[in-house]
Amino acid sequence: MSDRYLDFTQSAFGKSLSGLLGLPTPPRLKRAEAAYSARPLDGRGVMLGCSGRGELAAVLLTALKESGATVQIAASLVGLAAIKAASAATGVALKTEANPEDRAAAASAFVFDATGVAGPASLRELYDFMQPRVGRIPANGRVLILSRAPADAGNPSATAAAAALRGFVRSFAKEIGKKGATANLLEVGLGADDALAGPLRFFLSEHSAYITGQTLGLTAPSADPGNQFFAPLSGKVAVVTGAARGIGAAIAATLAREGAKVVGIDRPQEEGALGETLSAFGGYGLALDITAADAPQRIASELLSRFGGADIVVHNAGITRDKMLKNMAPHLWDMVLDVNFGAILRINDALLNEGLNDGARMVCISSIGGIAGNAGQTNYGATKAGVMGYVEALAATMAKRGGAINAVAPGFIETAMTAQMPTGPREVGRRLASLGQGGLPIDIAEAVTFLASPLAAAVNGRTLRVCGQNFVGA
Ligand SMILES: NC(=O)c1ccc[n+]([C@@H]2O[C@H](COP(=O)([O-])OP(=O)(O)OC[C@H]3O[C@@H](n4cnc5c(N)ncnc54)[C@H](O)[C@@H]3O)[C@@H](O)[C@H]2O)c1
């Protein structure tokens, strides 16, 4: 369903009317129009700053250069010596920050290495970097801050300062969302520095257009991330449940866009729609109900015998059966628990036994409903929170096999499911987000594809919210 209010406010008349009435004017987000490219930031200026010794400066310079960006610096900032030393070591050229009047040369992204933040006083270095530049962040611009995880920071003062960055990012994202710009924080665990290039490309490019205000932890990867940034899923077999329509169909198409051979699963009554969806990119359909008693074994056997095993598993199929608990019949409880939660665990048990290749990456679709909770969704909220706990619990097992498991928690997404909502709650769901609008299925698909790919080699056991920083559960 299209967002008519957003379309209206983008017209000249709509813009001036909404301005006159003081109504919100949600930005038109710039989303990726093509697959991953070897140089996603080609020709773009990225302003780099750092606090203190800037432990990541060299890695950042190399990754930015390889992604096609031109790195800009400002003479007056504290961490300049560390960036210059990293430039000398890596041979990556630095440009002085463009004159603010020169829009064409201005930076489109701002990256701050905060690994040197040692306590409350040094947070001032982040302020000095960002505050004078707020007005220079362009529409759809990107801000990315990198720190050590609070637990790795070393002492209580540094730990507290690292935690403070989370609050900064959450608040700053709310300030810049109205121009479609995003701010996110990567917490780089010890041993994860060399796996930074993938997350950097994702969070600085249009592939992450609907993700803002989030903190994502990176840990030492269980397998070499490699540096295949173009068609990173070529040769991989991916299975997606609930692939006939909505978010699942977008996930299947996006995994195929990056080179995967896709096996889509949906209920027998959706076989026609499933075939239609998959035929657009040469995918294979498996019509079965994931809650059927024989489903786990059928999926595992089919994947093994017909495709040689799966490299990517996306548990997307999900349902809602909303009722206040006092009115909820037991079958509504059981049905939601079984589709959204029980089936995932049973299928994974079968796959861990056979049908899953070494290095496999799994992604489960959760929901911000599992974070904030909604009246009438005790069943749904339980399953979606359960999924987040499950990925944390299974992460070590997947890492032992050289793989990973993560979750994506969508916010309000424009699908057949949300089109059914009454107008009032639907408008609230859309506008109560820093980006002022609902997401599209492609936004979830982009996040899933990133997590399913070697670009996210350092991400395991995490939940990434893709919600435009929806204020619900923020
Ligand atoms: N749309 C949103 O705003 C939103 C927000 C948060 C989370 N989610 C989650 O995203 C996922 C996809 O949601 P959607 O909006 O695309 O829903 P949808 O209803 O449009 O699509 C779900 C698909 O899953 C399939 N499915 C349902 N039960 C199945 C079963 N037993 N076996 C096999 N397939 C089954 C359906 O046939 C359908 O094709 C769900 O897990 C949902 O909870 C959606």
pLDDT tens digit sequence for 369-390? 999 999 999 999 999 999 999 9
pLDDT of residue 9: 78
Please check whether residues 252 and 148 belong to one and the same domain. no
pLDDT of residue 7: 76
pLDDT score for 22: 67
pLDDT at 18: 66
Provide the strand spans (E) within 309-375. Answer: 310-315, 356-365
Distance 373 CA to ligand 1 centre (A): 18
Q: Which pLDDT score is estimated for 425?
A: 82
In a domain, 226, yes or no: no
pLDDT at 21: 64
Whether the CB of 246 sits within 6 Å of ligand 1: yes
C-alpha angle 413-417-421 in degrees, rounded to nearest 5: 90
Phi and psi at residue 353, to the nearest 5°:
-80, -45
Supply the pTM of this predicted model: 0.96
Q: Is 396 among the domain residues?
A: yes
74 plus 20 within the same structural domain: no
For residue 371, the model assigns a pLDDT of 95
Determine the distance separating the centroid of ligand 1 and the alpha carbon of 365, expressed in angstroms: 9
Domain that holds residue 271: 237-466
Determine whether the shortest distance from the Cβ of 370 to ligand 1 is under 6 A. no
Same-domain check for residues 194 and 251: no
Task: Report the domain count for the chain.
Answer: 3
- The CA 239 to ligand 1 mean position distance, Å, reads 15
Task: Verify that 17 and 60 share a domain, yes or no.
Answer: no
Give the chain's mean pLDDT.
94
Query: 430 and 288, same structural domain?
Result: yes
402 shares its domain with 298:
yes
Residues 416, 311 share a domain: yes
Res 145: pLDDT: 98
Ligand 1 in reach of 188 Cβ (< 6 A): no
Say if residue 316 is in the same domain as residue 448: yes
DSSP strands (E only) in 83-152: 94-96, 107-113, 142-147
Q: Is residue 224 part of a domain?
A: no
Decide if 124 is inside a domain. yes
- Residue 445's Cβ-count burial label (10 Å; 0-12, 13-18, 19+) is buried
Kindly state whether residue 344 falls inside one of the protein's structural domains.
Answer: yes
Ligand 1 atom closest to 246 (CA): 16
Low-confidence ranges of the chain (pLDDT < 50): none
Helix (H) or strand (E) run with residue 130 in it: helix 123-130
Spatial CA neighbour of 144 closest among 52, 48, 57, 75? 48
Q: Is 380 labeled as catalytic in the residue annotation?
A: yes
Same domain, 296 and 397: yes
Whether residue 212 is found in the same domain as residue 243: no
